[in-house]
């Protein structure tokens, strides 16, 4: 993998005039709008980047975007990769390894998720303060490369407490209501049954989604501090469960996105 990362990094550097991002951002489903706040300098399509998996989802445009946001140099992935698309865990997390090799010091992640906590409603934001991995394997399975990180990485603070506190204080100043809680990752692509939503709540989840955790595990493996936030796009409350469609999810993500963008862009400015 070292060789593949090196090759990809060389290719990207040659096409971005050696641009050195300080912050990496992975934008979730329906949450690409942060890019419109950026002063974009370079934009590379995934299919043109060697070793990059190609996002198969139509609503994901699949671009790696370099530029500045509030004066900070950032690289943003517009279009993330999911396990349910058929990629391996190593493929999904390859871009995180590449962004780290390009020099990022922090990783920001957004996603759309279903609420499991009756106090967290559709349209709310939830800062992720911990997770439960229910995806079938870890991206670290297989031979460990000690140059990248330890065989048994610590996960006692998978999400930077310092960044969580800063974000909460930004949200308060801006008058944005923002929850915090535990994100459970599942494989998908089907949504959950009533019994599954009930189970996920019982085991300690506040929100459920199909992404984020693989990237966060790999970031922790490389000692890269993470900030992650969910837009709650539907309510997985078993007693009153209603059918949800991807259109509903995208619509809710779109409506709540400006609140999230405000928090992320101000948080980035503090780094
Ligand atoms: N379940 C799983 N993933 C999701 C959901 C959900 O209810 N909403 C958005 N992503």
| Domains recognised in the chain with CATH numbers | 2-269 (3.40.50.1580)
Ligand 1 centroid vs 191 CA: distance in angstroms?
6
- Residue 58 has what pLDDT? 52
Q: What is the mean pLDDT of residues 52-73?
A: 80
Q: Which of 3-17, 88-102, 156-170, 244-258 has the lowest mean pLDDT?
A: 244-258
pLDDT at 106 over 60: yes
Query: Is the model's pLDDT at 33 over the cut of 60?
Result: yes
Does the pLDDT of residue 100 top 70, yes or no? yes
Say what the alpha-carbon torsion angle 161, 116, 76, 223 is, to the nearest 10 degrees: 40
Confidence at 186, pLDDT banded by 50, 70, 90:
very high
> For ligand 1, is residue 30 a contact (CB within 6 Å)?
no
* Residues facing 180 on adjacent strands: 127
Ligand 1, atom 2, lies closest to the CA of: 209
CA contacts within 13 A on the Cβ side of 55: 21
Query: Has residue 39 got a pLDDT over 90?
Result: yes
pLDDT number for residue 29 = 75
- CB under 8 A, 24+ apart: contacts of 191-195: 191/114, 191/234, 191/236, 191/244, 192/114, 192/236, 194/238, 194/241, 195/238
Residue with more model confidence, 60 or 90: 90
Substitution candidate for ligand 1 out of 230, 236, 248 with most atoms within 8 A of CB = 236
Q: For ligand 1, is residue 114 a contact (CB within 6 Å)?
A: yes
Mutation test residue for ligand 1: of 201, 208, 213, 241, the one with most atoms within 8 Å of CB: 208
Residue 59: what pLDDT?
47
Q: What is the value of pTM for the model shown?
A: 0.95
């Amino acid at each position: 993998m070292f060789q593949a990362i090196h090759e990809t990094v060389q290719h990207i550097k040659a096409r971005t005039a050696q641009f050195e991002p300080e912050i990496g951002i992975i934008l979730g489903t329906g949450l690409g709008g942060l890019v419109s706040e950026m002063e974009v300098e370079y934009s590379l399509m995934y299919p043109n980047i060697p070793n990059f998996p190609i996002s198969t989802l139509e609503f994901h445009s699949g671009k790696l975007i370099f530029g500045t946001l509030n004066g900070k140099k950032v690289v943003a992935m517009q279009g993330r990769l999911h396990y349910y698309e058929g990629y391996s865990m190593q493929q999904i997390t390859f871009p995180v390894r590449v962004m780290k090799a390009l020099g990022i010091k922090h990783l920001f992640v957004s996603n759309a998720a279903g609420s499991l906590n009756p106090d967290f409603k559709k349209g709310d934001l939830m800062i992720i303060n911990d997770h439960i991995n229910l995806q079938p394997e870890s991206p670290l399975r297989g031979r460990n490369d000690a140059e990248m990180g330890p065989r048994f990485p610590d996960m006692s603070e998978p999400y930077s407490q310092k960044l969580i506190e800063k974000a909460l204080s930004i949200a308060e100043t801006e008058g944005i209501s923002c929850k915090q809680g535990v994100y459970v990752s599942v494989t998908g692509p089907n949504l959950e049954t009533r019994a599954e939503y009930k189970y996920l709540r019982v085991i300690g989840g506040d929100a459920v989604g199909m992404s984020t955790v693989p990237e966060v595990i790999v970031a922790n493996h490389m000692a890269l501090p993470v900030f992650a936030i969910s837009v709650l796009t539907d309510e997985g409350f078993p007693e009153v469960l209603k059918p949800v469609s991807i259109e509903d999810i995208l619509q809710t993500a779109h409506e709540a996105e400006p609140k999230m963008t405000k928090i992320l862009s101000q948080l980035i400015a503090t780094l």
